[in-house]
Amino acid sequence: MLPPATDSPRVTTLHRLSPTVKLGGALLIILTTVLLPRGVSWAYAMPAALVFLLWPLSGMTFVYIWRRMLLAEFFIVGFALFSLFHEAARPVFFSAFAKSNICVFTLLLLTWTTPFHLILNELRRWRLPGIMVTTLALMVRYLPVLVEESSRMQRARASRGFTRRKGVAWSNLTMIIGQLFIRSADRAERIYLAMCARGWK
């Protein structure tokens, strides 16, 4: 589920680029792709070729692409279906489909080669408000902890008896989510104390 470990050694070209270049580059590619006019099919070949060429430089695995693109395609195709009702269906559909896929691939290259805390550093340099930086940092740090807690709670419930009844399943799930919130709030309190203990004001 989570992006690959960043502490394992990576020697690919794209990994070594500075986060500024990668984030800025991704933004540039996405913006140009999105601004491409409809009905000019050959123009899409350019950004598509670019990201395709960047792919081997990143070492991004098929497994990673497959898992992420599967979910993305669901939304892409879902939304693109609307365009088929358009008066000018074919160019609109093609344009939306091509643009979104190129952009998702670009984002995948970014997320594969750049650990989020480096992206966050960039955003901080680009003047993202402090409270959002803190929130994003803590969120990313504690997401695996909370996912682990919720998995544990689900396993505990499941081991107390498997049921197909939806009502019970919903009741269990919502109780787990409620518990998760309470534990998160308690943990937030302890984190505050731990931060203060090391001099945070």
CB of 10 to other proteins, least distance (A): 11
d(CA 153, CA 32): 46
In which residue are the tokens 């088929």 written?
84
Choosing from 24, 75, 125, 126, the residue that interacts with other proteins (CB under 8 A) is 75
Determine which residue in the list 3, 10, 17, 50 makes contact with other proteins, applying CB under 8 A.
Answer: 3
Choose the binding region for other proteins from 12-20, 53-61, 89-97 (rule: CB under 8 A): 89-97
Q: Is 19 in the site for other proteins (CB under 8 A)?
A: no
Phi, psi (degrees; rounded to nearest 5) at 116 = -60, -35
Nearer to other proteins, 57 or 173 (CB): 173
Query: Contacting other proteins (CB under 8 A), which of 14, 51, 54, 96?
Result: 96
**Interaction residues for other proteins, span 117-176 (CB under 8 A):** 117, 119-120, 129, 131-132, 134-147, 149-150, 154, 166, 169-171, 173-176
Cβ atoms < 10 Å from Cβ of 132 = 12
User: How many CA atoms lie within 13 Å of 142's alpha carbon, on the beta-carbon side?
Assistant: 15
Interface with other proteins, residue 191, by CB under 8 A: yes
Instruction: Give the contacts of 120 (CB within 8 A, at least 6 positions apart).
Output: 133, 136, 137, 140
Q: Looking only at residues 53 through 72 of this chain, which bind other proteins when binding is defined by CB under 8 A?
A: 68, 71-72
Closest separation in Å from C-beta 64 to other proteins: 10
Q: How far apart are alpha carbons 118 and 10 in whole angstroms?
A: 15
Residue 98 as a binder of other proteins (CB under 8 A): the answer is yes
CB 76 within 8 A of CB 32: no
In angstroms, what is the minimal distance from the CB of 168 to other proteins? 10
Q: Where on the phi/psi map is residue 199: left (φ > 0), alpha (ψ -120 to 50), or beta? A: left
Q: How far apart are CA 69 and CA 75, in angstroms?
A: 10
- Find the shortest distance in angstroms from Cβ 152 to other proteins: 12
How many residues sit in the footprint of other proteins (CB under 8 A)? 101
What's the start-to-end Cα distance of the chain, in Å? 35
User: Looking at 86, 125, 152, 155, which residue binds other proteins (CB under 8 A)?
Assistant: 86
